[in-house]
């Protein structure tokens, strides 16, 4: 099973559309001062169970500001 290792949202590219937050609100919090979503505190617990939601969050971003690093168990030794 794949697991998300890290999530990065580029604040210089993000247009604060909140589309990514809609896809995975368990991990992404759009209620920030500058409008750029942040990773919720303790959200690492969802990095394995919500891989598909996070992939979708990256996919729907209109400016490709969401970068995911994903570990796949197939490549793990
Ligand atoms: S979907 Fe992209 S542009 Fe919209 S808030 Fe998320 S990172 Fe920013």
pLDDT beyond 70 at 7? yes
CB of 15 within 6 A of ligand 1: the answer is yes
- C-alpha 72/C-alpha 12 separation (Å) is 29
Q: Which CATH architecture has domain 3-72?
A: 2-Layer Sandwich (3.30)
Contact criterion met (CB below 8 Å) for 27 and 50: yes
CB of 13 within 6 A of ligand 1: the answer is no
Contact criterion met (CB below 8 Å) for 66 and 58: yes
40 Cα–ligand 1 center, Å = 15
pLDDT beyond 80 at 21? yes
- C-alpha 27/C-alpha 73 separation (Å) is 21
Look up the pTM and report it.
Answer: 0.91
77 Cα–ligand 1 center, Å = 34
Structural domain boundaries of the chain?
Answer: 3-72
**pLDDT tens-digit profile of 22-61?**
999 999 999 999 999 999 999 999 999 999 999 999 999 9
């Amino acid at each position: 099973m794949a697991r998300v290792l890290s999530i990065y949202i580029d604040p210089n590219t993000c247009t604060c559309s909140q589309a990514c937050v809609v896809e995975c609100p368990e991990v992404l919090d759009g209620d920030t001062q500058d409008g750029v979503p942040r990773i919720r505190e303790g959200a690492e617990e969802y990095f394995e169970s919500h891989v598909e939601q996070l992939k979708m969050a990256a996919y729907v971003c209109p400016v490709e500001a969401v970068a995911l690093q994903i570990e796949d168990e197939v490549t793990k030794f």
